[in-house]
Amino acid sequence: MRLHPTLLTFFRVILTPFLIAFFYLPFYWSHVTCVIIFIFAAVTDLFDGFLARYFEKTTKLGTFLDPVADKIMIVSSLILITDWYHVWWITLPSIVSIVREIIISSLREWIAETKERRYVSVSLIGKWKTFFQMVSLIGMLSKVDGTMLFFSTILLYFSVFLTYWSIAQYFRSIWNFLR
């Protein structure tokens, strides 16, 4: 019996409260556990879609739940780092990223109602944006200062650049549909 890819997606959703709990626990090892949970969840994000296509186990539920699980994990982590660092230069890109997720999710839902889903499929830029967000969040969730925070912040800003690029792509692809 093979593990169904949708179970990995569900597991990612279930991991999010544990990620949050370990982020705030007052033990010296809790932030490392938080990062390990985040990395594990990020890896399951890479594999669930691949496994679904490879074993021909794609489902409507999995197709719906995968981006939702990503958003739950990433938005929760962005809120955590905003709370932890409590500085405008981390809050600003975090809010921009969260707003983008709300806009794209709303846009996808609206377009899906019209049966024109092809206009809002996940783009390569969106996948790279998610990758750079995840790498930056790994560094920031570790709660370290110095070089790690500096490079993680640069990656977070690069993901914001990709955020603007991907949202421009989405609007360009649906422009004729919107008119």
**Could you report the average pLDDT of every consecutive run of 10 residues in the chain (179 residues)?**
74 94 94 95 83 75 82 96 95 95 83 65 83 95 91 96 90 75
> For the chain, what is the domain count?
1
Say what the alpha-carbon torsion angle 138, 101, 155, 84 is, to the nearest 10 degrees: -50
* pLDDT score at 1: 46
What is the extent of the structural domain holding 79?
5-178
pTM of structure? 0.89
The encoded tokens of residue 17 equal 């409260």
* pLDDT score at 85: 94
CATH at residue 137: 1.20.120.1760
CB 100 within 8 A of CB 143: no
Quickly list H helices, 25-144: 30-54, 60-85, 88-113, 124-141
* pLDDT score at 118: 58
* pLDDT score at 117: 59
CB 141 within 8 A of CB 21: no
SS3 102: helix
The encoded tokens of residue 115 equal 């049966």
Say what the alpha-carbon torsion angle 67, 71, 74, 80 is, to the nearest 10 degrees: -160
Q: For residue 99, give Cα distances in angstroms to 19, 33, 110, 115, 141.
A: 22, 28, 16, 24, 20
